Structure 1
Amino acid sequence: MTDAGDDAPLSTKKDGHSSQDAASLGLEARGGDLLARSVTINRPKAELYRFWRDFSNLPKIMDNIVRIDVIDQQTSHWVVKGPGGKEVEWDATITQDLPDEAIAWASKDASDISNSGRIEFRDAGLRGTVVTATILYDAPAGLIGKAIAKLSQREPGIQARRDLRRFKQLMETGEIATNARTRKQHEEEMA
């Protein structure tokens, strides 16, 4: 049981999360699994916020995104690679937009994956900006889907860590280091 004086992050809590927990993190209660990942990026927070707020940039850093269709300033449609090669989709609405500080979202009802989340940008002085992604979600197909997602490296905790690492690389160096060949490289080699 969590002590009322416990100052550990809620994302470390092992016994589930309440809607009150989600609200304290600035999230809507959409899902039962909570994760949070952070990275420090040596760039100003305003620059990082602007990159993230333009959702067309996110497929550059998020390996599992097939596409994001921006419907309007508040709503977008996400298509993501799911476990077992199945694509999952949802519409998301921005629930909070604090320029240069944070963006929060929640999936709409009847989504393949119920989720909500928040990306925060906090000043880290001479070190740049601490970027924290907090996501609350329900794994498709419950525990079996969660296990398949982990085995196929599509589990949101694994993806969030990798996506933030790619974001750091792109923002600090202008490119994402990889040992994988792109489709274009493969086609050029075959020609």
Structure 2
Amino acid sequence: MTERANVNVNDPERWISVILGSAVAAYGLKSRSLRGLAIAAAGGALVWRGATGHCMVYQTLGVTSVPDAEDDSHVSVPYGKGIRVEESVIVNAPPERIYAFWRDFANLPRFMQHLESVDVHDDKRSRWTARGPAGTTVSWEAEIINEIPNELIGWRSVDSSQVDNAGSVHFTPTPTRNATEVKVILRYDPPAGRLGARVSKLLGDDPALNVQEDLGRLRMILEIP
């Protein structure tokens, strides 16, 4: 049986996953082809999601759809709350190089315009400090919760942080030689009061545009001969 801490999918979603997954798997098996086997495997993954109540995508983002999980230590931003941003860029560099550059968190302030510093504590945890309006700063502790070398880094803020946030960066090779799609998914849940106002100013009117510009700077750095 799945441990409660690992359940991040609510009951309605679980039932839908099992029913839909079973139908998809049955359809795939009937076709008796390689394509059918792939479809059946996708259906099986949905059934597994429903049976276990665990979604790897939710885990990567540090989110949950379980209503009573807001205080769960495994979740930073409850599902459906906060600000969600997803942006990507094509960088003319291999995934291994981009991953290594990003994984050294001290490099992040070089292209993230609002980030002042990242102090690395150990292989998993670090402290991020961002510049706010009028010389103020906003800080939070972050930990890596999912990592596949050269493919994925997922992180979330820890419980004591000023700003609840979670995110992931994906490195996907493109058909073009030595080119990589870098996709970033972020969630923020700004607090109330003055701190929340500072965070909102930091994110700006268009958080997606900020991320686009950050990724543009990343591309410029990595494409310099």
The answer to whether structure 1 residue 49 and structure 2 residue 83 are counterparts is no
Q: Which amino acid is the alignment partner of residue 221 of structure 2?
A: L
Distance 1:69 1:99 in 2: 21
Matched, 1:163 2:197: no
Percent of aligned pairs sharing the same letter: 33
Match for 1:134: what amino acid?
Answer: I
Q: Which of these residues, 27, 31, 54, is aligned with residue 61 of structure 2?
A: 27
Contact 1:102–1:119 (CA under 8 A) maintained in structure 2: yes
| Matches for 1:1-191 after TM superposition, within 5 Å | 23-24=57-58, 26-29=60-63, 30-31=76-77, 32-126=82-176, 128-141=179-192, 148-149=201-202, 153=204, 156-173=207-224
Q: Give, in whole Å, the separation in 2 of the partners of 1:113 and 1:52.
A: 21
Given the superposition, is the C-alpha separation of residues 123 and 71 from structure 1 closer, same or farther in structure 2, using an over 3 Å criterion? same
Q: 1:171 to 1:154 in 2, by over 3 A?
A: farther
Superposed structure 1 runs of 4+ greater than 3 Å apart: 20-25, 140-150, 153-156
| Contact residue 84 and residue 149 of structure 1 kept, 8 A | no
Residue 119 of structure 1 and its aligned partner are, at CA, apart by: 0.4
Calculate the TM-score normalised by the size of structure 2: 0.61
Q: As a proportion of its length, which structure holds more helix?
A: 2
In structure 1, give the amino acid aligned to 2:212: R
Larger Rg: 2
> Retained in 2: the 8 A contact 1:33–1:138?
yes
Instruction: State whether residues 140 and 162 of structure 2, in contact with CA within 8 Å, keep that contact through their aligned partners in structure 1.
Output: yes
The alpha-carbon deviation at position 155 of structure 1 amounts to 5.8
* C-alpha deviation, 1:163, in angstroms: 0.9
Q: SS of the counterpart of 1:63?
A: coil
Structure 2: runs of 5 or more not aligned: 1-16, 21-53, 64-75
Considering only aligned residues, what root-mean-square deviation do their CA atoms show, in Å?
Answer: 2.7
CA–CA separation in structure 2 for the residues paired with 1:62 and 1:149:
12
1:27 maps to amino acid: L
TM-score (norm 1): 0.71
Corresponding position of 2:48: none
**SS at 2:186's partner residue?**
strand
Q: Which amino acid aligns with 2:174?
A: A
Alpha carbons 1:83, 1:154 under 8 Å: kept: no
Unaligned runs of 5+ in 1: 6-19, 175-191
Which of structures 1 and 2 has the larger relative contact order (alpha carbons within 8 angstroms, sep 6+)? 1
Secondary structure at the counterpart of residue 60 of structure 2:
coil
CA contact (8 A) 2:61 2:168 kept: yes
Contact 1:82 1:154 in 2 (8 A): no
Whole-Å Cα distance in 2 between the matches of residues 79 and 144 of structure 1? Answer: 16
Equivalences, count: 155
